[in-house]
Amino acid sequence: QVQLVESGGGLVQAGGSLRLSCAASGSVFSINVMGWYRRAPGKQRELVAHITSSGSTSYADSVKGRFTISRDNAKNTVYLRMNSLKPEDTAVYYCNAAGNRYSSWGQGTQVTVSS
């Protein structure tokens, strides 16, 4: 199993930027893909972006061109750089790590974008 700890959330004005971090520990060698999800008030959780062990990335249409997911294998950390933030990006952001037989979640970090 893998343990995940997120950081980097906060309050930012529309148009601003934030960078979220997700540090993984435990059986990190077993991770196939890591991703960022978010859950906005009154909405279902949605996938924001993910990155595979080979470095391939994928983004939700709503964040393409604004968000960038990256990883530092030496630090076992995945980042989500969020630029041009909008009020509709307000949500709790969760980090996820998936292996062949598990899916681990972080505790979540709040991102609030004021208009």
Mean pLDDT (10-residue bins), the chain, 115 residues: 94 98 93 96 96 96 98 94 98 96 95 97
- According to the model, what pLDDT value does residue 1 have? 85
Nearest to 115 by CA among 14, 8, 10: 14
pLDDT for the residue numbered 42: 93
Distance between CA atoms of 14 and 85, rounded to whole angstroms?
A: 5
Using alpha carbons, select from 7, 92, 102 the residue that is nearest to residue 43.
92
